[in-house]
Amino acid sequence: WWLMARAFDRIRRFRWPDLVGIGQAAVVLCRVAFGIRWSSFPDLLDELRLRDKVPDADEACVDRAAQLVRWAHQLLPLAPNCLLDSLAAAALVRKRGFSVPLIIGVHRETGVLQAHAWLGHSTQESIREFQILYSSHEETPTDQQVRETRPRP
């Protein structure tokens, strides 16, 4: 009973649009988590329609999507990570008819290779710190081109 009362207290602080957005974010998070495990990355991007050419979102739209994803994480037994969160927030932005650059980069710090995913345009600071492996707003090879350049056994 105590846990239910506490949950209702937390829910009461939200307005109806927040609750709807949290529900949408929770569904998208589950969809992305499943897609990361069971689909190829290009297929997941296509399923989420993140490669579609649509207008860029403003910063407020992206911040709102990221906030909804953070709130939805509190409801789900999914460990937050930057790739899952970035893909889910980008998918929420896309559902609103806009796009945001998804960037994946790596860097080596004291002999340890680290990767990070984030939303937004590459800044000079991120370019210095990370080697950009993928950016959704830059030309990337198609799956067919990748297959053609792979050495055959």
Q: What is the pLDDT of residue 151?
A: 46
Q: What is the pLDDT of residues 56-68, one digit of tens each?
A: 998 899 999 999 9
Strand order in the sheet with 112-119: 112-119, 102-109, 131-135
CB under 8 A, 24+ apart: contacts of 104-111: 104/132, 104/133, 104/134, 104/135, 105/129, 105/130, 105/131, 105/132, 105/133, 106/130, 106/131, 106/133, 107/131
Confidence of residue 10 (pLDDT cuts 50, 70, 90): low
* Mean pLDDT estimate for the chain: 81
Note the pTM of the prediction, 2 decimals: 0.78
d(CA 52, CA 111): 37
Is 24 a residue whose pLDDT tops 90? Answer: yes
